[in-house]
Structure 1
């Protein structure tokens, strides 16, 4: 009969896997290197397989270790959530809520939600990750993010996640004020421009690539911006062209140097969803924050 797994062994394994070395994990956890090494050796003995390969530059996971990491990190996250839920139900409103938001959400709805949430629950810590859904899926699967508010591509549906539509937004072609193509009337006219767009792996922007392809167009996307602010700054201070949410263009600060191009052809609407794991319940604090996002998305 295999030896039972112990919680401290799982924590040691996950810490070392995330840090890439026993030394770094030791600094993070406050445990000695010999204690971490012993815990991992005991864990490897219990599971009957090597989880790490040691090298001069640190450690790397074996294939078995990589698969085991996904399970171990989810177990630890589920235990954290369970512990926080008990504390929150007892009225000891502490713990942490971890959320992901798309770039336009971060600059429109999110500040209102976080302000109200913090006012009501000042002891609850909040971690916010900004980006497109594709970059958040691993953390959603492992339970490191409670949920995200983002767009997604229905043709690439992840069966482990649930999707609840909360908002629809218009996107527009955008240039700097005074841009020579500011009065263009069609996408075809702007095909020769230098474009900057987020990665096509992002759900809404994959939709745009499909739209261009259907019309036999191939915009000259010479710069791929992985961050929202990089895209805005580049468009505002150069002749690059992009496509951004109407919320951003109308923002008093962010949109002050931007201008929407009045095209005769509308762009696809962006559907925003509250996305989370199907098999995991949110803590009371996480559920309340999700409800705030629903409310403010409907009002905006």
Structure 2
């Protein structure tokens, strides 16, 4: 396997076509196709299926893709590391967040980092929690802020809790249950949640209070659409404290004051051991840990 072959496979998988991948890599389509075919011949398995409908990655291609991304990511980190030894602190740091994990302390830390290290490129991607961990394993992300608890699949990574984030249940102003005090009184209402109840904090809330899952549930992972639907539908909506406070629609919503316990979530920073991080990523990790040690998180 050669570096340019792996890069070609990743580009095709991410763009979905030979044409777009060739544009991304600034090479001709025949040259890109040749790289993938040579890789397939070397491995003795088909990686891509080409048809009139486009490109489909095979099960062999999917298995190789994760490792290919890891190899490309580590190669980039090695290059950045050597550049730092030469005295030029530049390169790229890829950060993953979910819709609920950034805070004011995070934004302020990023702002200070940019002032001190303007040559370093920062890439911040908002992903679902499971995709954040996959990005760390595959090497496409250098560090992530996650609301998930430590996971067995992430052994070998550093996992540091930054802060607790509260939870808000809310309805639009004027809702007939705006004065509800018990979770049970809301069970027959429409519910709006950001993730599946099977795996989310919202589902844990019902289980912890000995209640069945509500029957009328809408899952929505788009933050902008979530806010619009919360105001429009009249559903009971489940929010992180931070998201509720900064949402443009929150002023049209009313937080419920329940006596039943509503769980909070831990926000953690996940990153590689120091020996495997580039200096730019290590500096940012240290800055974040210092910022959250001293900040009042909002």
Residue 109, structure 1, aligned to residue 105, structure 2: yes
RMSD: 2.6
Residue 188, structure 1, aligned to residue 184, structure 2: yes
Instruction: List aligned pairs for 1:216-295, cutoff 5 A.
Output: 216-251=211-246, 255-276=250-271, 281-295=276-290
Distance in 2 of aligned mates of 1:10 and 1:163: 30
Residue 95, structure 1, aligned to residue 91, structure 2: yes
Match of 1:168 in 2: 164
Cα pair 1:132 1:202 within 8 Å, conserved: no
Cα pair 1:103 1:131 within 8 Å, conserved: yes
Cα pair 1:149 1:274 within 8 Å, conserved: yes
Equivalent of 1:143 in 139, 145, 154: 139
Distance in 2 of aligned mates of 1:192 and 1:107: 33
Pair 1:22–1:280, CA change in 2 (3 A) = farther
Distance in 1 of aligned mates of 2:268 and 2:56: 36
Q: Can you list the C-alpha shifts for 1:177-211, whole angstroms capped at 9, x where unaligned?
A: 333222211101122221100112796xx233133
Equivalent of 1:297 in 284, 292, 298: 292
Distance in 1 of aligned mates of 2:174 and 2:252: 9
Instruction: Classify the secondary structure of the residue corresponding to 2:153.
Output: coil
Q: How high is the TM-score relative to the length of structure 1? A: 0.86
Instruction: Classify the secondary structure of the residue corresponding to 1:148.
Output: strand
Residue 198, structure 1, aligned to residue 194, structure 2: yes
Q: Can you list the C-alpha shifts for 1:199-238, whole angstroms capped at 9, x where unaligned?
A: 12796xx233133135133334432111233223322344
Report deviation, 1:107. Answer: 5.1
Cα pair 2:167 2:262 within 8 Å, conserved: yes
Distance in 1 of aligned mates of 2:154 and 2:114: 33
Match of 2:203 in 1: 209
Pair 1:49–1:246, CA change in 2 (3 A) = closer
5+ residue gaps, structure 1: none
5+ residue gaps, structure 2: none
Aligned residues: 293
Distance in 2 of aligned mates of 1:40 and 1:199: 37
Distance in 2 of aligned mates of 1:129 and 1:268: 26
Instruction: Classify the secondary structure of the residue corresponding to 1:104.
Output: coil
Report deviation, 1:278. Answer: 6.6
Report deviation, 1:283. Answer: 1.6
Residue 18, structure 1, aligned to residue 18, structure 2: no
Shifted more, 101-110 versus 16-25: the winner is 101-110
Cα pair 1:134 1:201 within 8 Å, conserved: no
Match of 1:128 in 2: 124
Distance in 2 of aligned mates of 1:211 and 1:32: 54
Cα pair 2:193 2:238 within 8 Å, conserved: yes
Pair 1:49–1:131, CA change in 2 (3 A) = closer
Distance in 2 of aligned mates of 1:85 and 1:109: 27
